[in-house]
Structure 1
C-alpha cells in the first residue's frame, strides 16, 4: 500500500502498474490523481474509444468490466477502465460482494494492454482499509488517499486560489489552512470558492478570512464566553437569544459553553505549568492556531478557580435540565448570571 504522494512521484517517473485501487475519505484528491493517470496514458483524441467507466455501486455483475478490459485499445498501447465508488471493497453486503473472489482472481491475470482502476470512498474519517483491500494489496497497487498536511496542503490550497485568479500571501495562506477544520480537499476548495466570491474585485485580506470562517457557532460561543468573562450580562443574554434565533438548541449551547470553559481550564493549567503551545494544541486537539490564540487570551481573563467553578455550574445546569421539568432558557440565563458573579 502506498500513499498518494508516492503515487504522484511514480506517475512523474512513468512507473505505472496495470491495476490500481484508490481508497480514502477525500474523493476530490482521488479523482484528481486518476485524471492525471488517464492523461498520462491516453491520447485525448482517442479518449472515447480507450476509456470506459462503470458505477461500482450499481453494477449487477462484474462481467461488463471484464469485457471492457479484454477489448483491445484503438490506436493506443493502453486503455483505461475505471470502476468508481467500488463499494464492494468495503465490508457492507452488496451485489458484487459474492463475486469478490472471482474479481480478485481476475485482477491477478489482467491483460497488459489495460489499466484497471477502482476507487472506494470511506464513509467517515474513522474508516480504515478493511480485509478485502488488504487481501488485494499484494496483487495490485493500493493507493491510500490520506490527509494532506503541512506544506503539501498549503501548496494544494494555493493552487485553488491561483486557478481562480487570486493571489494570497504566504502567512495568510497558512492562516487560511489552519482555519480549515476539515482536511477534505473538496470541502476546502468550496471554502476557497466562497472566499474568492466574497473578495471579488479586491485582494484577499486577513480580516476577510476572519469574517468568513469565524462567524460560526463556535465563534458565537467564543463571544458568549467573552461577554461572560467581561461581566457583560446584557451582552451575554443577547448572544444567547441570537444563538437560539439561529436554531441552536439550549442543550447544544450548554454543551458548547461547558466544552469552552473546560478547554480554557485545561489551557490555563498548561500555561501555568509552562507547557509549549505545540504540546497544548496536540494534547487538546486544537487544530487552528488562530483559535488557540483566541482561547489563550480568553483564559487570561479568568483565574483557575473561576474556570473550575464555571465548569461545575455547567454540569449542575445540565443535570437540572435533564432531571427536572423546568424552563431550559431560564436555566441557561441563570447560568450566565452565576458565571459572571
Structure 2
C-alpha cells in the first residue's frame, strides 16, 4: 500500500507502518490523529502502547473500548518487532474482525521487523503494509518546495535542484534522512533575510558533504585507481577531514573484503555473508564486485600495514599525509 493512500482514503482497521523515513511516518501519524480525533478528546480516544513486554490482551481491550464523542478510536503500537514474536492466531482473528470505529497502527520505525514471518505477511496479504521509503524524483522536490513555502520563503527551481543535490539526499552512499534534510533547510531559512533562498545562502550553509567524498575515495581505492584515489584523498584533506576517520573507513573496507572473500570461498550463503558483514544489499554488491581486484593474502598483509600505519601516525608528527599517500599507492598498485 502506497503511503499516499493514507491521505486519500478513509481508514479503519489495522495497518503496519514501516520504513526508513521516520519523518514521513511521524507526519502520517500526526495526520491520522488530527483527522480522526476531535481536538481535546485525545485523552479518551488515543492510546499509545510500547511493543516490548506488551500483552495482546491489552490491545484487544483498548480496541473494544468505544470512542467518546468521536467516530473513531486511534491506537498506536510502537516497537512492534518485539511484540510480533509472540502473536497468537487468536489475535490475528481478532484483527480481522475489528469494529469500524477502530484504527490501530503497528509501527516499525527502526526497521527491525522480520519480513519473512507471519506478522508481516498478515498485513502484506491484506495490502495493509505501508512502507515509507526514501523519496525519489519529483516527490523529493515537492517535499522541499512545500516545506520552504510553509516557512514563507521562495526558491527558484534551479536553486531547488542545487540544494537537493548538494545535500546528498538520495545518494546510495550517504545515509541522509528527511529529518536530516529538514534540519539543513531550517539552517538555510534562518540565514535567509529576504523572501527568497539563493544559491549563495545555500553555499554558506551547506558545506560539501565529506561522507560523499569518503565513499568516492574508497571506490577509487577498491578500483585500484591510484591517481583518482590520491585526488579524492587530497579533496578530503582540503575539507579538513581527520586522517583517523579516513583510516577508520579504509580499515572497515578492507575488513569487509576479507570477510566476503573468506566466507564466499567457504561457500556460505549470500544472506549469511551479508549478515556477518553487517551491510545491506547495495554495499554488499559493491564489495562483491571489488573483491575480484584483490587476493586474500594481499588483504591480510595490507590490514597489518594499516595497523602499523596507525601506530606510526600516533608517534610521528608532520608525516601523516606522506605516509597515507604511500599507503594509497601500495593498495592501488
Note the C-alpha offset of 1:333. 4.0
Q: Which residue of 1 aligns with 2:79?
A: 85
Note the C-alpha offset of 1:133. 0.9
Q: In structure 2, how many angstroms separate the alpha carbons of the residues matched to 1:237 and 1:73?
A: 60
**Match of 1:99, SS?**
coil
- Count residues with an aligned counterpart: 262
1:174 pairs with 2:169:
no
Note the C-alpha offset of 1:143. 1.3
Q: Which residue of 2 aligns with 1:193?
A: 186
Runs of 4+ in 1 over 6 A off after TM superposition: 220-223, 253-256, 335-338
Q: In structure 1, how many angstroms separate the alpha carbons of the residues matched to 2:236 and 2:25?
A: 45
Cα gap change, 1:317 to 1:101, in 2 (>3 Å): closer
Note the C-alpha offset of 1:128. 7.8
Q: Which residue of 2 aligns with 1:111?
A: 99
Deviates more, 1:213-222 or 1:75-84: 213-222
Note the C-alpha offset of 1:83. 1.2
Note the C-alpha offset of 1:114. 1.4
1:322 pairs with 2:304:
yes
- Residue-by-residue CA offset, 1:109-134 (whole Å, 9 max, x unaligned): 2122211121112438xx88433211
Contact 1:23 1:120 in 2 (8 A): yes
Q: Which residue of 1 aligns with 2:323?
A: 331
**Match of 1:137, SS?**
helix
Q: Which residue of 1 aligns with 2:8?
A: 9
Cα gap change, 1:217 to 1:49, in 2 (>3 Å): closer
Flag structure 2 segments of 5+ consecutive residues without an equivalent: 221-225, 254-281, 283-292, 314-319
Deviates more, 1:211-220 or 1:45-54: 211-220
Q: Which residue of 2 aligns with 1:265?
A: none
Contact 1:158 1:173 in 2 (8 A): yes
Contact 1:50 1:74 in 2 (8 A): yes
Cα gap change, 1:136 to 1:229, in 2 (>3 Å): closer
Q: In structure 1, how many angstroms separate the alpha carbons of the residues matched to 2:142 and 2:19?
A: 20
1:239 pairs with 2:237:
yes
Contact 2:12 2:101 in 1 (8 A): no
- Residue-by-residue CA offset, 1:233-272 (whole Å, 9 max, x unaligned): 9x95993794336x4243647999xxxxxxxxxxxxxxxx
Contact 2:80 2:107 in 1 (8 A): yes
Q: In structure 2, how many angstroms separate the alpha carbons of the residues matched to 1:134 and 1:117?
A: 16
**Match of 1:133, SS?**
helix
Contact 2:2 2:131 in 1 (8 A): yes
Structure 1 counterpart of 2:133, from 114, 138, 146: 146
Deviates more, 1:73-82 or 1:135-144: 135-144
1:42 pairs with 2:28:
no
- Residue-by-residue CA offset, 1:135-182 (whole Å, 9 max, x unaligned): 233347221212221111111112222333332221211222223234
Q: In structure 1, how many angstroms separate the alpha carbons of the residues matched to 2:97 and 2:240?
A: 63
Q: Which residue of 2 aligns with 1:161?
A: 148
Note the C-alpha offset of 1:317. 11
Cα gap change, 1:251 to 1:143, in 2 (>3 Å): closer
Structure 2 counterpart of 1:204, from 194, 197, 200: 197
Q: Which residue of 1 aligns with 2:289?
A: none
> If the length of structure 1 is used for normalisation, what is the TM-score?
0.62
Q: Which residue of 2 aligns with 1:130?
A: 116
Contact 1:22 1:30 in 2 (8 A): yes
> If the length of structure 2 is used for normalisation, what is the TM-score?
0.63
Note the C-alpha offset of 1:73. 1.0
Structure 1 counterpart of 2:60, from 38, 63, 66: 66
